Structure 1
Amino acid sequence: MTTTTGAATATAAAPEDGLLLPVPDEDGRPFWEYAARGELRIQACADCGRLRFPPRPCCPHCHSFASAWQLMSGRGRIWSYVRPHPPLLPAYAAQAPYNVILVELADAPQIRLAGNLVSSADAPLDSVDPARLRIGAKVQVTFTEMGGISVPRWLLEKS
């Protein structure tokens, strides 16, 4: 899967290679606008300051409708992962088996984002040796442009 951040609706567009792309909804649109600038930002309540993901109009803690977008470091750790055999969707067959990781953000451990671990921003989904996939491995966000949308992906941090 290209990404499933929760900042998009369930429907998805497909670029030329057939991989699915998120279709931003009203609440998640700022997430994708910041991603296009190479920034990982998470929605925060402008009143109580609590972070929330996926984006939504109302704070689940204080019920305020005021929000802001807080810049994250882009660092995290692999909280979980899977390697689909066979691929979950036919469009991904050429890249299978590939990884799908769940990343716990370093500066917001309660926030977890789904994506792929890749060797470089524009590398194929199967570009990382599966032996390097480890729960707890430190990762850094990168962005790649696909079909007009900058999609977050993850790189192993250099130790």
Structure 2
Amino acid sequence: MIDHSGKNFPNINVETEPYWQGCRNHELLIQQCSDCGRHQFYPRIICTDCSSKNVKWVRASGKGKVLSYTIVHRAISKAYKSEVPYVIALIDLDEGPTMMSNVIQYDPQNVKVGMRVEVVFEDWSEKISIPKFRPENLDQNE
């Protein structure tokens, strides 16, 4: 496992624990309202569309497209220095929500708005796996 010490690890709480457990199992979980059917991310105790408290965790497809991105050339700390340049992107999941993550396993200069991506997970510790994205069907194109 790569040394991820010094990186910004997430703070897990009651609302986010199912999400992080899913990531640890390499499954991207998001919430879906049982009343109106809308998906949402980041985790909340109520539906952001209809205010229902009937939200449940469902497995997302892990696929989406790049809505916007930036290429980081100067690391925020020494812990990230070996990764520059890296892409931070807004990913529109096929289920509707948008999440921020990295696009990896791809030349940052070739990332484009609208590019199809799929989730992959980086294991940072025994308890934390971070969802990141790579171009969809990358294995098939190599």
TM-score bin (small chain): 0.7 to 0.9
- The equivalent of 1:23 in structure 2 is 11
Which residue of the other structure, out of 151, 154, 157, is the alignment partner of 2:130?
Answer: 151
The one of 33, 36, 57 equivalent to 2:45 is: 57
Q: Deviations over 1:31-63 (max 9, x none)?
A: 111112221121112222222221111223322
Map Cα deviations across residues 91-133 of structure 1 (whole Å, 9 max, x no partner). 322322211111111232xx111111111xxxxxxxx312221
What is the CA–CA distance in structure 2 between the aligned matches of 1:130 and 1:38, rounded to whole Å?
24
User: Please, which runs of 5 or more residues in structure 2 have no aligned partner?
Assistant: none
SS of the aligned residue for 1:152 comes to: strand
Residue in 2 that maps onto 1:130: 108
Counterpart among 3, 27, 39 of residue 27 in structure 2: 39
Segment drifting more, 90-99 vs 135-144: 90-99
CA RMSD, 1 decimal: 1.8
Three-state SS of the structure 1 residue aligned to 2:10 is: strand
> Which shifted more, 42-51 or 134-143?
42-51
Indicate the SS of the match to 1:33. Answer: helix
Tell me the matched-pair count: 135
Counterpart code for 1:129: D
Q: Structure 2-normalised TM-score?
A: 0.83
Q: What CA distance in whole angstroms lies between the structure 2 residues aligned with 1:71 and 1:77? A: 17
Structure 1 letter corresponding to 2:74: P
TM-score normalised according to structure 1 size: 0.75
| 2:99 maps to 1:113 | yes
Partner of 2:36: 48
Unpaired stretches in structure 1, ≥5 consecutive residues: 1-14, 120-127
Counterparts in 2 of 1:38 and 1:16: CA distance versus 1, 3 Å: closer
Query: Which amino acid is 1:139 matched to?
Result: V
Q: Deviations over 1:55-84 (max 9, x none)?
A: 111223322222111221111111111112
